[in-house]
Amino acid sequence: MTHAAVGAKTTPVLRFAPSPNGFLHLGHAYSALLNAALARRLGGRLLLRIEDIDPTRCRPEFEQAIYEDLAWLGLAWEEPVRRQSDHMDDYGAALAKLREMGLVYPCFASRQEIRTAIAERERTEGRPWPRDPDGAPLYPGLARRLQAGEVARRLAAGEPHALRLDMAGALGRLAASGRDLTFVAFDPDGGERVVSADPARWGDVVLARKEVPTSYHLSVVVDDALQGVTHVVRGRDLEAATDVHRLLQALLGLPAPRYHHHDLVVDEAGLKLAKSRGSPALRDLRAAGVGADEIRQRLGFPL
Ligand code: GLU
């Protein structure tokens, strides 16, 4: 897999990709403004993508608010905006490709069953169960122990299941092709470095959920490729996810964008902003009389 060449002929393409599951706060504003500033500096295009695959958390009023809040900040983006929920077929096609490679398997376990199995393993093995970079326990491989006949019977019975990536199989395939998994991390002020990706630390990630026929990782990778994104600019909280994204890109034969993972805007306690911690939404600040100019200044993006 070669990294996408950003030569003289390629127009850089950047994207801001919020999920409409709440109102945007200063952290989102920073990410959007940084994307816009870099698109301008690189002479590139700026896309807005609505990552709304989760129907239980995403709401039309949040999507509407994203358009209003970004316009209020003075941002402009290309139309039409890609909404992930309109493109399930694209994610299905990528999933089918991975299935054909034999790298996907069904997992029928409930969250509770997974928790119970992990607790059991911790007890018998006398050590804490390993966790992924987000702090979630790694999947303990329950479905791997199912016999093929049982899998076929449960699938035929229409039992709800997630689809997981066979991480060991995927890495084996990659190793067989002699390719190293890396990505180019770029610095907005110039400079690049090649970073090794270590997707194994995520275990058998979910590619399609029981209720949603795709996942964050799969949709992001498919969309970045379909939209020709050359520079992914997003928060540090997603840096480790890049390892999975690079693996999926390599397996699916998709180009690799360059990546910049920016620092997160934090509150007075030094914590990442979140609605659950009462961080004010941009619209709350606006209602309180704070101007868009003031916000841009505060975040380091004067006009
Ligand atoms: N939709 C993700 C979020 O809101 C961002 C995805 C990305 O930038 O890759 O956190």
In a domain, 227, yes or no: no
In a domain, 173, yes or no: yes
d(CA 188, CA 303): 18
What's the pTM?
0.94
Question: 216 and 169 in one domain?
Answer: yes
Give the pLDDT of residue 284: 96
Q: Give the chain's mean pLDDT.
A: 94
Q: Residue with structure tokens 């009023």?
A: 61
Q: Does 46 lie in the same domain as 5?
A: yes
Q: Tell me the per-residue pLDDT of 199-236, one tens digit each, with 9 for 90 and over.
A: 999 999 999 999 999 999 999 999 999 999 999 999 99
The reply to whether 277 falls in a domain is: yes
Q: Which range is least confidently modeled, 53-57, 138-142, 208-212?
A: 138-142
The parent domain of residue 44 ranges over 1-86+266-303
CATH of the domain at 76: 3.40.50.620
Question: Are 130 and 200 found together in one domain?
Answer: yes
What is the token pair recorded at 275?
A: 């609605």
Q: Is residue 64 part of a domain?
A: yes
Question: Is 81 in the same domain as 35?
Answer: yes
Amino acid at 9: K
Residue 5 has pLDDT above 60, yes or no: no
User: With 70 as the cut, is the pLDDT of residue 294 above it?
Assistant: yes
Average pLDDT over residues 173-192: 93
For the CA of 224, the closest atom of ligand 1 is 9
Question: Would you state the pLDDT for residue 80?
Answer: 96
Nearest protein Cα to ligand 1, atom 3:
18
Q: What is the mean pLDDT of residues 126-150?
A: 92
pLDDT band, residue 271 (cuts 50/70/90)? confident
17 CA from centroid of ligand 1 (Å): 5
Q: Are residues 106 and 215 in the same domain?
A: yes
DSSP state of 3: B
Q: Write the pLDDT tens digit of every residue in 28-53.
A: 999 999 999 999 999 999 999 999 99
Residue 117 near ligand 1, beta carbon < 6 Å: no
The answer on 153 and 212 residing in a single domain is: yes
Which ligand 1 atom minimizes the distance to the CA of 15?
Answer: 8
Give CA separation, 89 vs 51, 92, 260, in Å.
15, 5, 29
Mutation choice for ligand 1 from 16, 19, 21, CB with most ligand atoms inside 8 A: 19
Confidence of residue 278 (pLDDT cuts 50, 70, 90): confident
75 plus 95 within the same structural domain: no
For residue 270, being part of any structural domain is answered with yes
pLDDT band per the 50, 70, 90 thresholds, residue 269: confident
- Asked if residue 220 has its Cβ within 6 Å of ligand 1, the reply is yes
Domain count, the chain: 2
- What residue owns the CA closest to ligand 1's atom 2? 18
Q: Let me know if residue 259 belongs to a domain.
A: no
Q: Does 147 reside within a domain?
A: yes
Question: Do 99 and 11 share a structural domain?
Answer: no
pLDDT number for residue 7: 46
Closest ligand 1 atom to the C-alpha of 31?
8
Per the CB < 8 A criterion, the answer to whether 184 and 3 are in contact is yes
Ligand 1: which atom is nearest the Cα of residue 241?
9
Residue 215: CATH number of its domain:
3.90.800.10
Q: Which atom of ligand 1 lies at the shortest distance from residue 28's CA?
A: 4
Q: What is the pLDDT of residue 1?
A: 41
For residue 38, the Cα-to-chain-centroid distance in whole angstroms is: 20
Based on the domain organization, do 1 and 51 belong to the same domain?
yes
The finding on whether 103 has its CB within 6 A of some atom of ligand 1 is: no
In a domain, 239, yes or no: no
Cα dihedral across residues 22, 24, 30, 31: positive or negative: positive
| Judgement on whether residues 75 and 133 belong to the same structural domain of the protein | no
